[in-house]
Amino acid sequence: MTFQQNRYNVSQPFKDIKVIDLTHVLAGPFATYQFALLGADVIKVENPKNPDCARGRGGDVSQNNKMLGMNYQVQGGNKRAISIDLKTYQGQTIFKKLIKQADILVENYRTSALDELGLGYKALTAVNPKLIYCSITGFGATGNKAKTNAYDNVIQASSGIISQSGGHKPGVSFVDYATGLEAAFAISAALFRAERTGMGAYISVSMYETALLMMAPEAAREKNQHNNPNHLEAGIKIYPTQQGELCLGAFTPQQMSKCLKALSLDGYCHIRIPILNEWDELWKAGESLYTELRSVFLQNTAEFWQEYMHNIGLPAEKLRPLAAAVNDQQLDTRQFFEKVTINGKPQYIPTSAYKFADEGGVKLTRSAPQISQHTDEILQQIDVKPEEIAALRKSGVIL
């Protein structure tokens, strides 16, 4: 067993990593949450007068009023919180002390906003040359839209996602979350390089580019002007049934052939099964297959067809509301939600979609912090004396 293996739990590979989290809303906090789940010391830095607005959002009004809304809770666990006014000289001095001891800074402010405060990449790497500095913005740190502000919904509009979705925004902020994961992956790569070379890094993450990455085949088709018509893909359509709707997953030509053969043998359909060895053959048969499958699936319920397809080895799931999805026994088995107590009330918080074979999943060791909860503790760790803390608080530099 090596020293590294002896020292760290597999589920806490970032145990000695310090992350300064200067982010708000969703994408940035979700990126830093990945490190908090894996053992890093993540310090959330907020403006005393204007904390993270996600604190006030969520389904429980009483929690929102306490600035512990669920939109904040779901990516705030395992972090510590400090409030500093970075527009003051004293606040900037404290922040630089934090940076001096940090491995990573993540921020998602407007491009150049921190430069204007004297806290940009060049200024902070003068304090800590090994710093990994990650900036998350709507359109990236360069280009004609570098300083354009953005939220998930406007990125979905600008990137073509809403157009691809029939003119309606999907009901979730998945660009934010995908951007957070993209940022976390890039930071992890920079950490890996730093372990080998001692070099820091500047990382610019673009929500706009992340959105296009999530529909890479469609984006590449449009960019390369490949004008193949959109084919009706019968194997991945949603079908009405006697009760509910079924989303079929007979994606490949081979899977569709398997589906049709089983349905024919069991007497559910009576068409001449076409030869489906190639994609072109599947696409050409799309309209007729869709018509036939619609009539087949109307013979029974979505529940029945889901089980039927599973039994023949094909993906298929009935459409169900989110309330049913989050209460699926599968999630209990995988321990996806972790129960925590927030202001005396039990809450269930999503953790991660992966598990380590030898140690299981990541753990929430603390719930998301209240505003400025750890300010004194953090300042004492960078040698700020109690009387100095009191003076800083009196002057409004800290909360």
Cα 64 to the chain's mean position, in Å?
A: 22
Is-contact 42 184, C-beta < 8 A?
A: no
Cα-Cα-Cα-Cα dihedral of 157, 163, 167, 169, to 10°? -50
Q: Strand pairing partners for 248?
A: 316
Tell me, what DSSP letter sits at residue 272? P
- Side chain identity, residue 294: R
Instruction: Count, in order, helices (H) and strands (E) of the chain.
Output: 20, 11
For residues 287 and 318, the answer to whether their CB atoms sit within 8 Å is no
Q: Which residues contact 167 (CB under 8 A, 6 or more apart)?
A: none
The helix (H) or strand (E) run that includes residue 320 is none
Check residue 210 and give left, alpha or beta (phi > 0: left; psi -120 to 50: alpha): alpha
- Inter-residue contact 377 to 83 (CB < 8 Å): no
Distance between CA atoms of 201 and 224, rounded to whole angstroms?
A: 33
Q: Which residues are tagged catalytic?
A: 176
**What torsion do the CA atoms of 208, 213, 215, 218 make, to the nearest 10 degrees?**
100
Which amino acid appears at position 196 of this protein? Answer: R
Sign of CA dihedral 107, 111, 117, 119: positive
Distances (CA, A) of 349 to 70, 73, 273, 276, 367: 9, 7, 48, 45, 9
**Residue 15 has which token pair?**
């145990």
Count Cβ atoms within 10 A of the Cβ of residue 172 and give its class: 0-12 exposed, 13-18 middle, 19 or more buried: exposed
Residue entry with tokens 């001891």: 101
